[in-house]
Amino acid sequence: MAVRVVLVGCGNMGYAMLAGWLKSGKLAPSETLVIEPNQELRDRAGRLGSVVASSIDDAAGDLSPEIVVIAVKPQVIREVTAGYRKFAGSATFVSVAAGTGIAAFTEILGAGAAVMRCMPNTPAAIGKGMMVVVSNANVKEPAKAFVGDLLSTSGKVATIDDESLMDAVTAVSGSGPAYIFHFIECLTDAAVAAGLPADTARLLAMQTVYGAASLAAESGEDPAVLRRQVTSPNGTTAAALEVLMGQDRLKTLVTEAVGAAKARSVELGK
Ligand SMILES: NC(=O)C1=CN([C@@H]2O[C@H](COP(=O)(O)OP(=O)(O)OC[C@H]3O[C@@H](n4cnc5c(N)ncnc54)[C@H](OP(=O)(O)O)[C@@H]3O)[C@@H](O)[C@H]2O)C=CC1
Ligand SMILES: O=C(O)[C@@H]1CCC=N1
């Protein structure tokens, strides 16, 4: 089968998306070409059945991909993207890099290049990702639909028209899984400090976050209502929430954290 999608960079994010796409069956492994210099990561992609190469120049055959997904670090994105200029006339480029704007890509690929920016997150690997997409005017409807279809296999897809919102998106859903993982770490440590064995502590922390997020998502209920349903007057939850919510402690911390991530996204784009 001909290669339809070239994935450039198969680290944490690239692999998470690739795994999601292939698991869905919407793309055959042989329709994906992974360019990744790191042999271990290349082999990992190869085990999913993707065609792999260490550089685009080493990739065999005449390629005419529909989509080129750029999933390398923002620090190397310009030099790496320049190596794919030859596909700019025919393929749609999809960048998942934090910060780097569409204008940076059209500077490198030419003003007529079709460029989409997507901010995914790592739960994409199990089909539970959040992907936010913005496109330039050169992206044609069929390519937009194909990318949207592909991304939807990795989770929920939202489209925005205002690219400047991408810094905030990155700070919330792009980086967000790390905040939740850290919360699980903290709850686990607190459970151990409260006397539970380590494996029980981990199970309780994980299942509680999973259950609470699932209930919030599936019930569609306002999280504040769900919170109140747990909180008996003068009970245990009220005691804990006084610590977390008193003087808006957690809210202040989360707002500061999201602000720091957003500021860093802006910086990465410079
Ligand atoms: N991790 C996440 O949760 C998210 C990441 N992103 C974005 O995704 C992008 C990738 O991040 P992440 O996956 O975490 O980073 P990783 O470092 O895990 O992955 C990037 C990979 O690209 C490889 N690479 C370097 N140069 C080339 C090249 N010329 N051709 C092909 N591959 C190359 C790197 O190899 P080597 O290490 O050997 O240089 C590395 O394996 C970033 O731009 C980030 O902003 C967006 C949303 C979420
Ligand atoms: O930390 C980062 O810069 C990337 C972007 C969003 C998640 N990871």
pLDDT(235) > 80 = yes
Locate the ligand 2 atom nearest the alpha carbon of residue 170 and give its number.
Answer: 6
Q: Do domains 5-168 and 176-268 have the same CATH topology?
A: no
Q: Considering only CA atoms, which residue is closest to atom 5 of ligand 2?
A: 98
Average pLDDT (51-79) is 92
User: pLDDT value at position 1?
Assistant: 78
pLDDT above 90 as % of the chain: 93
Best residue for ligand 1 mutational test, from 13, 38, 134 (most atoms within 8 Å of Cβ): 13
Q: How many A from CA of 9 to the centre of ligand 1?
A: 5
The three-state secondary structure class of 265 is helix
Q: Spell out where 101-255 has E strands.
A: 114-119, 129-135, 155-159
Residue ranges per structural domain of the chain: 5-168, 176-268
Please give the residue that has the higher pLDDT: either 26 or 170: 170
Average pLDDT (201-222) is 97
Nearest bound ligand to the CA of residue 129: 1
Spatial distance between the Cα atoms of 77 and 101, rounded to a whole number of angstroms = 11
DSSP states of 121-147: -GGGGGT-EEEEEEE-TT--HHHHHHH
Ligand 1 interacting residues, C-beta cut-off 6 A: 8-9, 11-14, 35-38, 41, 71-74, 76, 80, 96-98, 119-122, 174
Spatial distance between the Cα atoms of 27 and 66, rounded to a whole number of angstroms = 12
Cβ-contact 155, 127 below 8 angstroms = yes
Q: CA nearest 95: which of 107, 79, 81?
A: 81
Residues 6+ apart with CB under 8 A from 243: 249
Identify the CATH class of 176-268.
mainly alpha
Please give the residue that has the higher pLDDT: either 126 or 243: 243
Q: Residue 34: which region, alpha, beta or left (left: phi > 0; alpha: psi -120 to 50)?
A: beta
In this prediction the ipTM stands at 0.98
Handedness of CA 147, 132, 97, 162 (dihedral sign): positive
List pLDDT tens digits, range 14-42. 999 999 899 889 899 999 999 999 999 99
Ligand 2 proximity of 129 Cβ (cutoff 6 Å): no
Residue 114 carries which DSSP code? E
Q: 180 vs 123, 146, 176, 184, 258, CA distance in Å?
A: 12, 31, 7, 6, 13
User: pLDDT value at position 151?
Assistant: 94
User: pLDDT value at position 61?
Assistant: 77
Lowest-confidence pick of 23-37, 48-62, 106-120, 247-261 = 48-62
Query: Looking at the whole model, is its pTM more than 0.80?
Result: yes
Whether domain 5-168 has CATH 3.40.50.720: yes
Spatial distance between the Cα atoms of 81 and 73, rounded to a whole number of angstroms = 11
Structure tokens at 23: 């698991």
Residue 68: which H helix or E strand, with range? strand 67-70
Average pLDDT (114-136) is 95
Nearest bound ligand to the CA of residue 77: 1
Ligand 2 proximity of 175 Cβ (cutoff 6 Å): yes
User: pLDDT value at position 145?
Assistant: 95
Locate the ligand 1 atom nearest the alpha carbon of residue 76 and give its number.
Answer: 26
Please give the residue that has the higher pLDDT: either 240 or 61: 240
